[in-house]
Amino acid sequence: MLNKILQSSFLFIYRIVSSTGILNSSWGRSVFEIVYLFYKNHFEAGTISLLQNYVKPKTSVIDVGANIGFFTLQFANWVTENGKVIAFEPESVNYARLQHALREANVTHLVDNINMAVADITGEAMLEINPIHPSDHKLATHGVPVTVTTIDHILEIREWPEISLIKIDVQGAEQRVLQGAIKTLEKFHPVLFVEVDDQALQKQGTSAQALLKFCLRYDYTIHKLNKNVISSSLTIEYILQYLKKTRGYMDVLLLPADL
């Protein structure tokens, strides 16, 4: 509940500042990003450092919905040797800021950042732009045209580098991303860190229940990140009740059953 209040407050302030035109300047955008990353790090993302335990040596990590790079930068610190972060961000402004963040952090050699959307098809799609929420752009039937690809396609043309972790935050298209990654799931059985928002999923023609059932079919167990520990296995019913109670979303950790 606290996170939801903080997010609402953050967006309210963002709308006011955005209406002044300040965010169109480079310094205004930079200040916004500092505040945004502080918010993500301290209030929304939770103890994501626990995810580092699942990034095996020499393997790569995929960040679908990289935005301006909060998770991408974390992952770049965790990959080793020939491991890479493959980061996808379709929206042009966010993508430019992602590139800037990678240069500032001196990790461009560790990240393949790709200006595409990810789903269950390859080709072209439409991205609906939310002018008052830079993290809420989504695949839709209208908007701006973007190139769309699948995880399986991208890994196949890269000759299947081993993937140990995939993070997905794409405003309701999470199941479409996974449906385009079936070969990857079967080949590597990577750990999945997925935003689950039932309302957003329903707008994309699926649901939280359908998404989680899909993951269970590929032998995953459901968990969440607590402050300093990963929860025991959770049921689909638990997640659905949580979403109903909070009227929000939940970042779900899906672990291979044999891990």
Partners of 250 in the beta sheet?
Answer: 196
- Among 201, 200, 197, smallest CA distance to 239 is for 197
The 10s digit of each residue's pLDDT in 192-226 is 999 999 999 999 999 999 999 999 999 999 999 98
Q: Domain locations in the chain?
A: 1-44, 47-116+155-256
With CA atoms as reference, report the closest residue to 193 among 172, 167, 171.
167
Give, as one character, the DSSP assignment of residue 88: E
Other Cβ atoms within 10 Å of 82 Cβ, number: 11
| pLDDT > 90 fraction of the chain, expressed in percent and rounded | 73
Is 2.40.170.20 the CATH number for 47-116+155-256? no
Mean pLDDT for 74-80 is 96
Whole-model pTM? Answer: 0.88
Residue 40 and residue 70 in contact, taking contact as beta carbons nearer than 8 Å = yes
93 or 62, which is more confident: 62
CA distance 127 to 150: 16
User: Residue 171's pLDDT is what?
Assistant: 93
Whether 84 shows a pLDDT value over 60: the answer reads: yes
Supply 23's token pair. 């965010």
Indicate the average pLDDT of the chain: 89
